[in-house]
Amino acid sequence: MQTAETTPGVAGRLAAARRIIGLAGDWAKGYFDRYDSLSVETKSSRQDVVSIADRDVEDLIRAEIRAAFPLDGLFGEERGGEGETSGYTWVVDPIDGTACFLHGLASWCVVIALVGDGRTLIGLILDPMSGRLYQAIAGGGAWCDGRRLSVDRTTPINGGLFALGASTVAQGAQMGRIVEGLLNAGGVFMRNGSAALSLAHVAAGHYLGFYEPRLSSWDCLAGLLLVEEAGGVADDFLAGPGLSGKGPVFAAAPQVAGAFRALTGE
């Protein structure tokens, strides 16, 4: 099978993505340094916040991609979609973890994925506060700053950490049941406020799994590819909700995947 690594066009786009996400991270960090002076707007609820930082960082990423690959599609959280004729579409979350960002917490990241032929070809997640760049290429592995990533393949549920996410769309009862089940199984639950960073941490073996009932492609495609390429179990979001849909996101280390999935009720 041809891997994304050997697909013509992907290597150049990966190199460009690395450069662009670095620029975006620096730009976002400039805003974060004065987060308390940003005017905060709300979207679907009072907890669904956004600021000029999200929009400016997405605009920067889009302009760089547009200049380098004018025929590629663009799909971003803040500015929506633009069609493609090249067969490639970039999926962008300029700041994942905006609530953390706007409350002065360091748990946020920049996310870029490239989709082609119905699958995620590359995924990059930059944590500008630690400087860590997580990147995966379909069929070519997952890496962080030169280190090959692997999920934690040995720790059982009662020895590791599980990340959960939830938005303000009513999920209280389900999340309560999952937390209860995890605690009863001896597990520990975490929520860091960034779905993408949580998935990167599953790929790096820091968390054993991640689950959130309702996310969008920009939140999860890069992270799901990271987990898959790091040897974990990761649902195929494009085959389910797709590029513009919303739906559950599940990823886990193989030895706990069955039990953790049962706890989520999915």
Show binding-site residues for Mg(2+): 77, 93, 95-96, 219
Q: At how many degrees (to 10) do helices 52-68 and 10-32 cross?
A: 160
Which residue, 135 or 167, is less far from ligand IPD as judged by CB? 167
Question: How far apart, in Å, are the Cα atoms of 176 and each of 173, 182, 185?
Answer: 5, 10, 14
User: Considering the rule CB under 6 A, would residue 127 count as an interface residue with ligand IPD?
Assistant: no
Binds ligand IPD (CB under 6 A): choice among 98, 120, 217, 255: 98
User: Considering the rule CB under 5 A, would residue 93 count as an interface residue with Ca ion?
Assistant: yes
228 binds, among Ca ion, ligand IPD, none (CB under 5 to 8 A by kind): none
User: Considering the rule CB under 6 A, would residue 160 count as an interface residue with ligand IPD?
Assistant: no
User: Considering the rule CB under 6 A, would residue 93 count as an interface residue with ligand IPD?
Assistant: yes
Of residues 233, 38, 40, 258, the one with CA closest to residue 157: 258
Which residue, 89 or 98, is less far from ligand IPD as judged by CB? 98
Binds Ca ion (CB under 5 A): choice among 56, 58, 72, 77: 77
How many positions of this chain bind ligand IPD (CB under 6 A)?
A: 15
Contacts (Cβ under 8 Å, ≥6 apart) of 170: none
Instruction: Kindly list the residues in this chain that would bind Ca ion in the complex (CB under 5 A).
Output: 77, 93, 95-96, 219
